[in-house]
Amino acid sequence: MGVFEAFRYDGKRVLVVGGATGMGAATAELVQDAGAEVVVMDFAEVTLPGAKAIHVNLADKASIDAAVDECGGPVHALFSCAGVADGTPGIEKINFVGHRHLVNRMLAGGMLSRGSAIGFISSAAGLGWESNLETLKEYLDTADFDAASAWAVEHGFADYFHSKQAVCAYVAREAFPLLKQGIRINAICPGPTDTPLAQANKEMWLGFGADYRGEAGIEASTPLEQAYPLVFLCSDAAVAITGITMITDVGYISSGITSSFPPATDVAGFLLGRLG
């Protein structure tokens, strides 16, 4: 076996939550092409040939429990890709609380063994989580599914922005305790990506950074272009990486921080919580 095999998924069983469309679908297709046995959980219909499809509603604890039981183990890589936009009932459950409950159920059932990895899809909305960490700790400390949902509603965290901050904080905080179990956890923070969810919010989601992309001569990312780094993070090739949210925005935030693209400077400062 060559050393490059660490990038592949031969002999691995992979679960993609939210793998019916968008970046999740691209992730499922990519890991399957890399040799994995693929299970896809989603509320939408799963169409990937050769994948085991399981229906799940991340806003419903019983549905998550039933889906996890149907999946069974082992799972060598878990990709938590499902997400919805503001205005969706139960957004705090679908974008964070439900994913966390699914992870916890799998851990309790011994389905994620030593050497496994977890990968989330976050968002630029979550980048400033450090400046809100004390409040986020209170949210993360609310472990019960229903209690966490209620906490989010009561504290104004039942929206896209705060759900993505919770994902980033969760990934960072769980890195060490999971590593003691031999499990890694990371996330990506995609730039504008041409997905069905983005198309449904086109003016805001795909309009973001359009000036930067225009001057650089590039288009919004494809789902597959975002799946590549996510799949890498859960591969054995990324064994030294855990607890990070990798910014996969083709340099927009970095160009704003350094003012090499001045129009992005204030935006980057706001998203990172570095203004004022």
d(CA 80, CA 200): 21
Longest dimension (CA), the chain: 54
pLDDT of residue 199: 76
Task: Map residue 46 onto helix, strand or coil.
Answer: coil
Both tokens assigned to 115: 């050497």
pLDDT at 201 over 70: no
pLDDT of residue 202: 73
> pLDDT, tens digit, for every residue of 105-125?
999 999 999 999 999 999 988
Alpha helix positions (H), the chain:
22-33, 61-71, 91-92, 98-108, 133-141, 145-154, 160-179, 196-200, 202-205, 210-216, 223-233, 252-257, 265-271
DSSP string over 126-150: GGGGGGGHHHHHHHHH--SHHHHHH
The length of the chain in residues reads 276
Average pLDDT over residues 163-182: 98
pLDDT of residue 166: 97
Which residue shows structure tokens 């272009």?
Answer: 225
Q: Which of 2, 79, 82, 99 is nearest to 36 (CA)?
A: 79
Q: Is the peptide bond before 74 cis (omega within 30 degrees of 0)?
A: yes
pLDDT of residue 1: 63
> pLDDT, tens digit, for every residue of 91-110?
999 999 999 999 999 999 99
- 194 by Cβ neighbours in 10 Å (0-12 / 13-18 / 19+) ranks as middle
- Phi then psi for residue 53, to 5 deg, are -105, 130
Contacts of 49 (CB under 8 A, 6+ apart): none
pLDDT of residue 194: 78
pLDDT confidence bin for 200, thresholds 50/70/90: confident
| Amino acid occupying residue 169 | A
